[in-house]
């Protein structure tokens, strides 16, 4: 299941250089500083409480990029964790470099990297004092009764109370040639002070700090949406001890193979396999299924799901850090690091935009007074307003907040999207190609017919077929083996799987084949009479498997699969969205056509080998249309990899699918495909809305600035107000799908 994403985005290696941002935006997961990390490189992890947006990431990247021995940086802005691959003897130079940026670096262990960072409480009184002083300075100025020195003193109290952190960050940014929001705000407030606008300077610093605080709280909601997934799994579970007693134990300390018990109403602590008991389990947190799933001996259970009816005992199959839930969280974190096309555009735009605006502000301050004799005060003031208004904070933050919200909303509903690039580009899908077995159908066919073609081999044929079928994990082979439980099994030598055809093996010194119509044709053992018999079964939508020896066919087995009800509904939804559907299957064309007719698929192609499916996808891609491929088997891997977006089915509990699929559907419900496309379209619409809001409102206030109608405090509202607008607009996706 799943596939290697040969078309994965290269943006993981892009060097982020956001010029301005306040909090919480996603950023590249990795930044390569050398050609490739050496084999002896060490990965050291650091918790950096001050690192939660690209502003800090850019500073860290530029600083550590100059440090000899540092080869690769891995940023996890969600949990404020920095991974550094290096060949240094110790990590002190890394810690010192980070501390030189005014940040703290706390060494961590690998197992702690996914833990959410502890909230850092800040005293409230400096902000309150700043607010009182700022309003007092404004009141004294408006009264006209207070001397200038008193107004300046009160304003200075307001600026110092809440602005020292901004000044410190701004100075560090300027030293590192980075014009971020802290640098621009520091310049604007200082300029206002220098031209004697004390009350306005105080009010601007206070309003900026308040707006930053509100924005940080708002963005924490997007961050906490993911950390909410982490809290689904309980901290403890009931474990059987060596003496047979059942005791509560922390899930982090429970080893593989341990026996756990879960009571009705409790959350399951770890992934496992049921060894006794029967119950229904709510798997919605993992798979998004709306109804509970019945569990009995041999069934899988997943950490974070809720046991409902009966008591279950299960054996642990994955440690806490490697459960399906943990892998989903890790995959979403990595996906947030893979920047979407719109985000890459915004990054490139902001790298040019901010220095350009700074240069324009300098020209606005100097050119009119020097060449036209206009008042210095007015034009320097306008330049300061321009700096604040033009800061691209809202523009930079608009895309990552939207992408993070969309990825998290999808994960909550059992759709694991492996990158913002797929979430954003999904709206362009025009063709969805689907495998049949396990995708459109349940993948659990049953044998419906048996026909002895060589009567003298009737009894022996069933035993031979059962012996060969039992060695294969293909659903059709399993159906034949399960239909013949009492048939004696013979030892099989030189067993060989023939992809897209069947299997072969030597029994009692003779070579036998168990395969489909294609295999019969390739072996040259077909005849007109046999063709007639095969057509009769295939017209009924049944898959025919034949047992053959060197002389010809010995027996015929007909197998039928059942179509999922959700498949019909999913195909109908895709058609309603204007998406064409195509079935690609290794089954014969008659069976393919029958199944396609049942579910309403536009076109069907049968008798396809894995390479044939790949060619079919390549033909569709070459036509210029965006193509999605849905499959659940290793045979689908080449086609999945070649499609613009590959969807892996039945991904719950499967490492390969979660790690390699572009989009993994955590259950067998095909309706998640149209849900994904709807979410992608909604994401695209909100991205365009946010960019339009950010640029449109900025443009209006820039006109006010040049006309002399805007003030510094209005500029702060324009900058931070639009930032809050795009944050709240992007977070609407958390309520969708």
Catalytic (active-site) positions: 435
Q: Please provide the DSSP assignment of 400-460 as one string.
A: HHHHHHHHHHHHHTTEEE--HHHHHHGGGEEEEEE-STTTTB-S--EEEEEEESSGGGHHH
Radius of gyration over alpha carbons of the chain, in Å? Answer: 32
| Residues 586, 542 contacting (CB under 8 angstroms) | no
| Residues 630, 435 contacting (CB under 8 angstroms) | yes
Report the 10 Å Cβ neighbour count for 285: 24
How many residues are recorded in the chain?
Answer: 737
Q: How far apart are alpha carbons 583 and 589 in whole angstroms?
A: 11
Angle at 702 between CA 698 and CA 703, to 5 degrees: 125
Q: Please provide the DSSP assignment of 712-736 as one string.
A: HHHHHHHHHHHHHHHHHHHGGGGG-
Residue 159 backbone dihedrals phi, psi, to 5 degrees: -65, -45
Structure tokens, 264: 């009705």
Q: How far apart are alpha carbons 212 and 208 in whole angstroms?
A: 6
Q: Please provide the DSSP assignment of 177-206 as one string.
A: T---HHHHHHHHHHHHHHTT-HHHHHHHHH
> What is the SS3 string spanning 145-189?
CCCHHHHHHHHHHHHHHHHHHHHHHHHHHHHCCCCCHHHHHHHHH
Q: How far apart are alpha carbons 215 and 207 in whole angstroms?
A: 12
**By C-alpha distance, which of 252, 642, 195 is closest to 433?**
642
Structure tokens, 636: 């689908």
**10 secondary structure, DSSP code:** G
**489 secondary structure, DSSP code:** P
| Residues 325, 286 contacting (CB under 8 angstroms) | yes
Structure tokens, 467: 């012996």
Report the 10 Å Cβ neighbour count for 252: 11
Please identify which residue in the block is written with the tokens 């994401």: 683
Of all helices (H) and strands (E), which one includes residue 316? Answer: strand 312-316
Q: How far apart are alpha carbons 171 and 77 in whole angstroms?
A: 22
Helices 376-390, 181-194: inter-axial angle, 10-degree rounding = 160
| Residues 98, 43 contacting (CB under 8 angstroms) | no
236 SS3 class:
strand
Q: Is the dihedral of CA 184, 185, 186, 188 positive or negative?
A: positive
DSSP strand E in 251-310: where?
259-262, 272-277, 279-282, 293-295, 300-301, 306-307
**By C-alpha distance, which of 571, 569, 591, 593 is closest to 580?**
571
Which residues does residue 143 pair with via DSSP β-bridges, in sequence order?
none
| Residues 329, 290 contacting (CB under 8 angstroms) | no
Q: How far apart are alpha carbons 580 and 601 in whole angstroms?
A: 8
């Amino acid at each position: 299941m799943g596939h290697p994403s040969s078309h994965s985005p290269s943006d993981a290696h892009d060097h982020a250089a956001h010029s301005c941002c306040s909090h919480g935006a996603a950023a590249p997961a990795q930044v390569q500083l050398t050609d490739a990390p050496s084999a002896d490189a060490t990965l050291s992890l650091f918790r950096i409480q001050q690192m939660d947006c690209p502003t800090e990431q850019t500073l860290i990247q530029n600083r550590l990029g100059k440090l000899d021995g540092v080869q690769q940086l891995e940023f996890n802005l969600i949990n404020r964790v920095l991974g550094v691959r290096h060949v240094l003897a110790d990590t002190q130079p890394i810690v010192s470099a980070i501390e030189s940026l005014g940040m703290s670096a706390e060494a961590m262990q690998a197992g702690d990297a996914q833990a959410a960072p502890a909230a850092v409480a800040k005293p409230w009184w400096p902000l309150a004092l700043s607010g009182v002083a700022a309003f007092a300075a404004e009141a004294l100025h408006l009264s006209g009764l207070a001397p200038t020195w008193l107004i300046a003193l009160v304003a200075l109290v307001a600026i110092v109370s809440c602005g020292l952190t901004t000044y410190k960050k701004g100075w560090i940014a300027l030293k590192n040639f980075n014009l971020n929001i802290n640098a621009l705000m520091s310049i604007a407030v200082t300029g206002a002070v220098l031209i004697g606008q004390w009350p306005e300077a105080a009010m601007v610093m206070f309003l900026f700090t308040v707006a930053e605080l509100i924005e940080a709280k708002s963005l924490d909601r997007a961050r906490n949406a993911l950390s909410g997934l982490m809290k689904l799994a309980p901290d403890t579970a009931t474990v059987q001890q060596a003496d047979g007693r059942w005791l509560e134990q922390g899930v982090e300390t429970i080893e593989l193979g341990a026996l756990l018990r879960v009571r009705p109403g409790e959350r399951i602590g770890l992934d496992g396999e049921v060894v006794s008991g029967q119950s229904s389990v709510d798997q919605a947190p993992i798979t998004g299924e709306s109804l509970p799933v019945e569990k009995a001996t041999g069934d899988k259970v997943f950490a974070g799901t809720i046991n409902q009816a009966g008591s279950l005992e299960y054996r642990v199959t994955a440690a806490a850090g490697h459960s399906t839930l943990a892998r989903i969280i890790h995959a979403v974190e990595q996906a947030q690091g893979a920047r979407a096309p719109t985000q890459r555009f915004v990054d490139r735009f902001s790298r040019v935009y901010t220095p350009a605006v700074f240069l324009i502000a300098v020209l606005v301050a100097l050119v009119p007074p020097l060449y036209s004799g206009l008042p210095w005060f007015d034009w320097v003031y306008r330049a300061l307003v321009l700096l604040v208004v033009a800061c691209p904070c809202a523009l930079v933050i608009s895309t990552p907040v939207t992408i993070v919200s969309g990825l998290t909303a999808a994960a909550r509903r059992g759709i694991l999207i492996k990158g913002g690039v797929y979430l954003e580009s999904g709206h362009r899908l025009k063709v969805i190609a689907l495998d049949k077995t396990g995708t459109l159908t349940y993948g659990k066919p049953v044998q419906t017919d048996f026909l002895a073609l060589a009567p003298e081999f009737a009894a022996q044929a069933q035993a031979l077929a059962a012996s060969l079928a039992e060695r294969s994990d293909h659903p059709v082979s399993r159906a034949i083996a399960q239909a013949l439980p009492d048939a004696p099994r013979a030892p099989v030598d030189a067993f060989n799987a023939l992809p897209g055809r069947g299997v072969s093996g030597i029994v009692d010194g003779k070579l036998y084949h168990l395969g489909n119509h294609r295999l019969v044709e390739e072996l040259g053992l077909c005849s007109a009479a046999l063709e007639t018999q095969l057509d009769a079964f295939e017209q009924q939508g049944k898959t025919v498997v034949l047992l053959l020896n060197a002389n010809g066919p010995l027996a015929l087995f007909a197998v039928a699969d059942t179509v999922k009800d959700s498949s019909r509904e999913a195909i109908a939804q895709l058609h309603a969205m204007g998406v064409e559907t195509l079935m690609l299957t290794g089954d014969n064309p008659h069976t393919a056509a029958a199944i396609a007719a049942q579910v309403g698929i536009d076109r069907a192609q049968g008798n396809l080998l894995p390479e044939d499916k790949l060619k079919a996808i390549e033909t569709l891609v070459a036509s210029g249309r965006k193509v999605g491929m849905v499959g659940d088997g290793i045979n689908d891997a080449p086609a999945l990899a070649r499609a613009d977006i590959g969807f892996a089915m039945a991904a719950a509990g499967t490492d390969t699918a979660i790690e390699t699929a572009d989009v993994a559907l955590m259950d067998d419900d095909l309706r998640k495909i149209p849900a994904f496309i709807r979410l992608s379209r909604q994401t695209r619409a909100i991205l365009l809305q946010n960019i339009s809001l950010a640029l449109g409102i900025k443009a209006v206030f820039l006109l006010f600035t040049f006309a002399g109608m805007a003030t510094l405090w209005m500029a702060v509202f324009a900058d931070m107000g639009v930032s809050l607008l795009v944050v709240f607009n992007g977070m609407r996706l958390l309520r969708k799908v």
